[in-house]
Copies of this chain bind each other. A is one copy, B any other.
Amino acid sequence: MPHAHGPTLCSACPLAEAGLPPAALGAAGAAIGVIQVAKGQLRTCEDLSNHFAIVRKGALKVEFLNPDGRAEIAGFLFQGEVLVCSVSDQDVAITALEDAAFCDVRPDRIAQDVAGAAAALTRFTQAVADQSGLDQRRLIQARSGPVEDRLMWFLEDVAARQKSDAVHLPMPRSDIAHYLNTSAESVSRAFTNLRARGAIETRSPRRITLTN
């Protein structure tokens, strides 16, 4: 028997922050479905036309596929962040960096006659624009300046998004190198230099503490 209500909104969800009334989500999860993705599992953007994917748990890697088939890492998404991709652009792949779940949100199925729903949807549009503006700024920062500065920026950016100076890196070094548009060797050297000058401490390859 299907349950009578869809999933509840996480506190980190931009729909919750926009003040969407729970009643607007409809019965039986009409407006939101939760999709589990096992670590390493890949999905295309194709089934996201008219949908929005919002990370519920874990972390996702977003890649754009070039016409020649080469994948370019566009970024990483953590809890509460919206996957912003073009529906006219099917060549986007999302991979779970660890066991993850995302909410598949259908704004067109949100009951807009529930008091406050339409205003919340308008605020959600702004949240999508916010996420997108940050995504673009990150793409520029990731590719500008010396590798050591870029790596430090990346660690600070992840720390801010995870709201902790003890940074959890769910992605391998090779993904960080690709995202920063450089080689794995340069990233290793930059990690060594940041440790040497006391900017970070390495607790394990995937756990870094910012010391500033």
Contacts and interface: CB of A to CB of B under 8 A. Distances in A.
A69 to B, nearest CB: 14
A112 interface: yes
Interface stretch (A122-130, A168-176, A191-199): A122-130
A182 interface: no
Interface string A27-50: 000000000000000000000001
A158 interface: no
Q: How many of these chains are in the complex?
A: 2
A3 interface: no
A140 interface: yes
Contact of A119 (B85, B108, B143): B108
A137 interface: yes
Interface residues of A, number: 42
Contacts of A89: 130, 133-134, 137
Interface in A76-124: 84-89, 92, 107-108, 110, 112, 118-119, 121-124
A72 interface: yes
Contacts of A85: 129, 133, 136
* Highest count of chain B CB atoms <10 Å: which of A121, A132, A181: A132
B137 A140 contact: no
Nearest to A109: B122
A107 B122 contact: yes
B50 A133 contact: no
A135 interface: yes
Contact of A136 (B84, B88, B141): B84
A74 interface: yes
Interface of A: 50, 52, 64, 66, 72, 74-75, 84-89, 92, 107-108, 110, 112, 118-119, 121-126, 128-137, 139-141, 143-144, 181
The list of the 7 closest CB pairs from A to B, nearest first, reads A86-B133, A132-B132, A112-B118, A85-B133, A125-B125, A139-B139, A86-B130
